[in-house]
A = this chain, B = another copy of it.
Amino acid sequence: MIYGYDPRTGEPVGEGWPESDARHVDAVVSAAAAAGESWRATPAAERARTLEAVAEALTAHVDELWALADRETALGEARLRGEVARAAGQFRLFAQVIRDGGYLEAIIDHADPSLTPPRPDVRRMKHPLPGVVAVFAASNFPFAFSVSGGDTASALAAGCPVVVKAHPAHPGTSERVAEVIRTALPDPALLDLVHGMAAGKDLVQHPLVVAAGFTGSVPGGKAVQALIAERETPIPFFGELGSVNPVVVLPSADRSQLASGFAASLTLGAGQFCTNPGLVFVPEDPGLLKELAAAVEAATGGPMLASRIRDGYLNGLERLGGLQVLAEGRAGEGAWAVAPKVFTVDLATFAEGLPHLAEECFGPASVVVTYRDVADLPGVLARLDGSLTATVHATDPAEAASVVPVLRRTAGRLIWNGWPTGVAVCWAMHHGGPWPASTSAHTSVGATAVDRWLAPAAYQDWPAELLPDELKDDNPLGIPRRVDGRLAG
């Protein structure tokens, strides 16, 4: 049985959920695949209406959902209400995306008999992957990266049914969210859940599963990748794994809100963000270090989502234990509450301690690295593993010239004078980055997240009556296309 636990008390919440055995996984995946047949053939406009209905259903149940999730996560009302709104917003964005139709990348090249060799009529567009998308839910966003998260929303938008391997840190929330979403779907089998580690294995190895989305740790992601490698037919694996999110404070930076901004970003959600600022480079300046220390000392961590996650954080602190402690904050209330803790080290010593000093410590921990000369930064930054984000604090853009090219290779999102926590859900967002931040060049947040569940096909000299509407000459759906080399919106 899988039990949810209250992080405030460490006690189980409500009834447990049976682990899904292989037969159950097979039944769920097969039913999803069958339901997917008509879903993928459903016109985009109708799929968009369904996604909006899901958004409405989530919004209508927010009172019940936040309270349920709060018992299993202790993330609090404001954050959890906001997260339901965000999850609903993601479904709405993907409704816009598929109505727009640009995501299909439709291209038409008419025949050209004057060429050598003569060119046939060739038309290309993307189609949903032919089968079920497996989603491994994250612990830290019980709505926005879980059953109702971006992976589910983008896969349903693409035209794929979804089976989620529920995160054991919030099984009750997962079940209820699935029920709520299903009320808005034309066929409830389009979204289902499985519970337990073994079910996760059975899920990614099921022949009807065509792709997997994953948000979690590097070892977890590697384990899923290894299971996929055992398949007879490989499938794409879209993992969003670890990230330290380097922040570079340059000498010209405005320091007025630097310390408070850092402490807030560090402790948001008890530090349980994949975009947590785990590494901060600052000029060697005792005054600045004092400000940072004071802000962290005044900050509170809070209960982590699970005892296992708490233990992982404490182990991570031990790994960094050789460094000088800059500041430690308060743990706050709760059985699994932890305090924020910040270490400090000079740049040369940090460079000697790579790569292990730059490993992610999931939770409210960070390493503040002091440097004397900006010119020393690029060589060290170039040695960091891939991250989801990299941030620069400066008032003088010219001062950043030497670090920006290095950071661009390190991270999928570059931030100016901000903090990495908080990921806007919009067309341009990219939430990915070089390995291990991501296992692919794709994003798991924002409009282009839908690309993961699509594959192109070309039609050569294909009869008009058999062409998809998206590729017919008169463009009945009015979607953007490239025709004979020219974009036509």
Q: Is A381 an interface residue (CB 8 A)?
A: no
Contact among B109, B116, B234, B415 for A460, CB-based, below 8 A: B415
Contact B427 A456, beta carbon cutoff 8 Å: no
Contact among B430, B455, B463 for A397, CB-based, below 8 A: B463
Contact B427 A461, beta carbon cutoff 8 Å: no
In the complex, residue of chain B having the shortest beta-carbon distance to the beta carbon of A443: B456
Which of A67-75, A323-331, A432-440 binds B?
Answer: A432-440
The CA-CA distance from A60 to B411 in the complex, in Å, is 43
0/1 per residue, A308-336, Cβ < 8 Å to B?
00000000000000000000000000000
**Of A413, A417, A440, A441, most B-chain CB atoms within 10 Å:** A441
- Which residues from B are CB-within-8-Å of A432? 455-456
Contact B458 A414, beta carbon cutoff 8 Å: yes
In the complex, residue of chain B having the shortest beta-carbon distance to the beta carbon of A424: B119
Q: Which residues of A contact B (CB under 8 A)?
A: 82, 85, 96, 100, 102, 105, 107-109, 116-117, 119-120, 122-124, 127, 129-130, 229, 233-234, 236, 397-398, 400-401, 404, 408-409, 411-418, 422, 424, 426-430, 432, 434-435, 439-441, 443, 446-448, 454-463, 465-466, 480, 482, 484-485, 487-489
Shortest beta-carbon distance from A79 to chain B in Å: 11
Give 14 new A-B contacts, CB below 8 A, not counting A413-B458, A416-B462.
Answer: A82-B117, A107-B427, A109-B429, A122-B426, A122-B429, A129-B441, A130-B409, A233-B434, A234-B439, A408-B457, A414-B458, A416-B463, A428-B482, A434-B455
In the complex, residue of chain B having the shortest beta-carbon distance to the beta carbon of A117: B422
Given contacts A102-B482, A417-B461, A482-B102, is CB(A124)–CB(B430) below 8 Å? yes
In the complex, residue of chain B having the shortest beta-carbon distance to the beta carbon of A123: B428
Given contacts A428-B122, A461-B415, A487-B480, is CB(A441)–CB(B229) below 8 Å? no
- Which residues from B are CB-within-8-Å of A413? 457-460
Contact A116 B85, beta carbon cutoff 8 Å: yes
**Closest 6 pairs (CB-CB, A-B):** A430-B458, A441-B455, A107-B428, A124-B428, A122-B428, A413-B458
Contact A404 B124, beta carbon cutoff 8 Å: no
